[in-house]
Structure 1
Amino acid sequence: MHEILTIAIGHRPNHLATQFFNCQEELLSNLSEKVNDPSIFLQPTIDRISKTVSYAPRGLLWDAKAGFGALATYQYHGSGDYYYADNASQELQSEMIMTQPRIAKAEYQSALDSGVDELPKLSPETTKYWSDYAKLIYPATSFNSLADWYHDVSNPNLPHFQKFDSRRFDNFEIGYQEFDDNYANDFLDGNLHAQLEQCDTLQGFNIITDMDSSWGGFASSMLLELRNELPKASFITWGYYQADPLTAQDPASARLTKRNIETLQNKIRSTVGLSEESDLVIPLYADEQLSNWEQAGLSCKIFDTVNALASQSNPQQRRSLEDIISCLTLSDVSRKFVSSILGAEPVDSSFFSRVALARSQPVHQHVFNSCRISRCSQPLAATPNSEDKTMKTYAYYPSDTIPEQYSQERSFTIEFSSTEIARNVFMQYEDVVSKYFRHDSDREELKDKLASMKSCYEYGWYDDEFSDDDM
């Protein structure tokens, strides 16, 4: 076996991980077709007495306190996430002290537990938490919680500090130091080690994170430690990018204000930090008009397609993470960003494709490399053209938790491309750093790194670019 671990860092990434593992559970119910090897992404436990096998996700989920919803750390065993006993009075009478309100179990989860035939239909209102519709039981070692930051239902992707609205988990440096100072050693020696012990031959990681908040800094610090700990593993980073002034189509929305400059600072630092240690970066557009459940259902179509290559049962068609990365980058380690994702939806799903072109950029962007992944009912069909870079895998098996509008197609092709548009993105980031990071200690370092990243996507000659005037 060549296992792959998925680490989801933040509430929105946990929704995507949940949808993906639900799709893996859907495949378990279709074992008669044997299209995949479930042990790549799921940990099997064999009961030799009853001669049955149970599966748990090979996943590590990070969230703020109360972000797990009704789910306790030890699922279906106790509720210690919500209260504790006062040991001083334990001999006389245990006093239960509530630390936060108990969250009621979702109707969908209650229906799963009761084993009813017809499950209730999901909606944005019934899927506030990813645990509201998780179909597999996670091991206790999957759960990792921030100690001082609490989940906010009204703003689920930005935890607040000790329940104070005035301080949010919205700064790259806060997230970076939070992991480095408080969690690095315990996480590596604890839950990560426990997950690694369940792997025979680990091939790599999926890292899913938000890029516009402290979660990006948290992920950057974690990835640096993971790379030092497991230098031979492959790392694919899936980053959620929200809209910003650089993606705006109208002048009013494109104005840079103090608030959106701070958001851009997080995005830029996360992009640079995560790219240094990742083998491949896939920037996903996070539509703020969608709920986390809907966004995860949309993104799962892409996430599941890439990972299906690594788990399909036929050894002739199966690809390792290293093979997938090599195909998507054309073995050029300096070009690790996927700047176009076509075929999953009518519009390009890559965030980079939404960044407005700089004035010096040509309308038609040069394509350095493209690779297609085809999902079909007969993935063994021969490829007549030897130059056709199409990797084939089994059809899509969406879980019933995927929103209906994203689960209709089972056979489709998604094209991933590395294009000149990445240069445009890094050039605009470099301009923002030059103009608005005036007093930041890492200003010059960021400019140098972005200039280097930009140069990897240059093609031909260019007219005048942004001014580097710091006046």
Structure 2
Amino acid sequence: MHEILTISIGHRPNHLATQFFNCQEQLLSNLTEKVNDPSIFLQPTIDKISKTVSYAPRALLWDAKAGSGALATYQYHGSGDYYYADDTSQELRSEVIMTEPRITRAEYQSALDSGIGELPKLSRETTKYWSDYAKLIYPATSFNSLTDWYHDVSSPNLPQFQKFESRRFDDYEVGYHEFDDNYANDFIDGNLHAQLEQCDTLQGFNIITDVDSSWGGFASSMVLELRNELPKASFITWGYYQADPLTSRDPASSRITKGNIRTLQNKIRSTVGLAEGSDLVIPLYADAEISNWEQAGLSCKIFDTLNALASQSNPHQRRSLEDIISCLTLGDSSRKFVSSILGAETLDSSFFSRVALARNQPYQQHVFNSCRISRCSQPLTARPNSEDNTMKTYAYYPSDTIPEQYSEDRSFTVELASTEIARNVFMQYEDIVSKYFRHDSDREELKDRLASMKSCYEYGWYDDEFSDDDDM
């Protein structure tokens, strides 16, 4: 089966990628039953002398400087991540100059290294970095770091420019041009190609990114470059959307002000940009009340469930990324947003379902296409029933790094759907662009593209409360 490469863009997305690959490691240790083909998401390396196989994630991770915590580019030989040598004179010995304070290896990682005793229990305080609990060893070609932006532990999803707190990685245009101007060529010709060379036939990509900051622009630029480089690959983009005035239930918090318009500007531009290069976009709700470690544990149930379809060992049940995309779009490439995610948790995990206009509609939202994925506790050996359109895969095998509250259920059903809710979201975005983007050079282009995106999700007759009058 064709390989799938995961690209995580930002600190929070790296937490999700880490939790997913930890779950893949958990499957490797499942000696009683081989429910999946590990080579889809992991690169096997065979040692012919010892007759053993080691696995490394098929992943590319982007973060700010020092965002990897104690994990260095070359794992246990990483002094270069914190020091450089000033070798200006052959007569003098190299002088080692500290450029970053060394980050102490987490207790969990130290326990993994020693292989002795019970692993300590994880918590918010011990999982500040995704590397604090990563169980697989990444190849050096997996790591990609911003040159001028530094990780800030107090605000981990918004890097600082050269450690100046006054300037954050929080503008779509900054992120877009950061990748386009400084990283595109080196990344594609370097680490990306190094990963592609380890694949027999690449099936496609999982792109995970934050949307409300510069990372959204960075990812939008990257996806377009990847699409140009690999036009036949499938692209599923997972975007983390934070709460904003449109999702608030409090009238006072729902007001659009100068303080929160930046978040909406980034979100709207990222949504439009990511849609242009992706085959499917899954907007995940990012809860600000929980840590990145907890958020990743929650999201991993959805992420792992969809990807389990593509890696399961049962050939009759296995589905490619193209099959999954087709199930949710029915071949209509213009309708690519998953606006409802139900089943794994009590609440809908899609951000779109939380937008007020979508949430408060008095009528039932029309469902254009849906995909049900059932995780079964029993072995999957029989051919699927032709009358049952539910896709089936093996039970959930959560890693011990997943928070307990998200790892209790092993058998459940997830339903992803493309619904009329997306129209309501894009309608509000279009209204915001009309009212608050008055002096932006891309204003008319955004309005046209949002109007086009909105029209793809129309069903029946509407009496919209919003006006297209720019003088409002």
TM over 0.5: yes
SS at match of 2:112: helix
* Paired residues for 1:252-263 under 5 Å: 252-263=252-263
Task: Please tell me whether residue 445 in structure 1 is matched to residue 442 in structure 2.
Answer: no
Q: Is the 8 A contact 1:380 1:392 kept in 2?
A: no
Where in structure 2 are the equivalents of 1:252-291 lying within 5 Å? Answer: 252-291=252-291
Give 1:377's aligned residue.
377
Q: Distance in 2 between matches of 1:435 and 1:43?
A: 50
Identical counterparts, % of pairs = 87
Q: Per-residue CA shift, 1:346-366, capped at 9, x if unaligned?
A: 000000000011699543211
Name the CA distance, whole Å, in 2 between partners of 1:90 and 1:35.
Answer: 58
Deviation at 1:296, TM superposition (A): 0.1
Quote the offset at 1:469 in angstroms: 1.3
Q: CA deviation at 1:111?
A: 0.3
Q: Distance in 2 between matches of 1:187 and 1:444?
A: 32
Q: Distance in 1 between matches of 2:12 and 2:90?
A: 39
Quote the residue 2:32 is aligned against. 32
Q: Supply the distance in 1 between the matched residues of 2:234 and 2:142 (Cα, whole angstroms).
A: 20
Question: Does residue 459 of structure 1 match 2:452?
Answer: no
Partner of 1:61: 61
CA offsets, 1:319-342, max 9 Å, x none? 111001111222221111100000
Deviates more, 1:299-308 or 1:321-330: 321-330
* CA spacing shift, 1:3–1:31, aligned 2, 3 Å: farther
Amino acid at match of 2:28: L
1:257-336 superposed matches below 5 A: 257-336=257-336
- Distance in 2 between the 1:92 and 1:217 partners? 45
Query: By how many angstroms is 1:248 displaced?
Result: 0.7
The number of residues matched between the two structures is 470
Preserved contact between residue 317 and residue 383 of structure 2 (Cα < 8 Å):
no
Corresponding residue of 2:196: 196
What is the CA–CA distance in structure 2 between the aligned matches of 1:467 and 1:90, rounded to whole Å? 72
Say whether 1:100 aligns with 2:100. Answer: yes
Which residue is equivalent to 2:17? Answer: 17
In structure 2, runs of 5+ residues without a counterpart are none
Equivalent position of 1:222 in the other structure? 222
Counterpart residue identity of residue 398, structure 2: P
2:231 pairs with 1:231: yes
The C-alpha deviation readout for 1:120-148, integer Å capped at 9, x for no partner, is 00000000000000000000000000000
Q: Which residue of 1 aligns with 2:146?
A: 146
Match of 1:76 in 2: 76
Instruction: Note closer, same or farther for the CA distance 1:309–1:91 as it changes in structure 2 (3 Å cut).
Output: farther
Q: In 1, Cα distance between the equivalents of 2:32 and 2:91?
A: 56
Of 368-377 and 440-449, deviating more is 368-377
TM-score scaled to structure 1, two decimals?
A: 0.98
- Contact kept, 8 Å, 1:361 with 1:462, in 2: the verdict is no
Q: Is residue 426 from structure 1 mapped to residue 426 from structure 2 by the alignment?
A: yes
- Structure 2: distance between partners of 1:311 and 1:359: 35
Partner secondary structure for residue 4 of structure 1: strand
Q: Paired residue for 1:365?
A: 365
- The letter for the 1-side match of 2:265 is Q
Give me the TM-score of the superposition, normalised by structure 2: 0.98
Mapped partners of 2:464, 2:62: distance in 1: 44
Q: Deviations over 1:385-410 (max 9, x none)?
A: 71x32100000000000000000011
Distance 1:89 1:127, change over 3 A: farther
Structure 2 CA distance for aligned equivalents of residues 91 and 32 of structure 1: 62
Cα distance in 2 for residues equivalent to 1:358 and 1:15: 29
Gap regions ≥5 residues in structure 1: none
Q: Aligned-pair RMSD on alpha carbons?
A: 1.3
Structure-2 residue corresponding to 1:117: 117
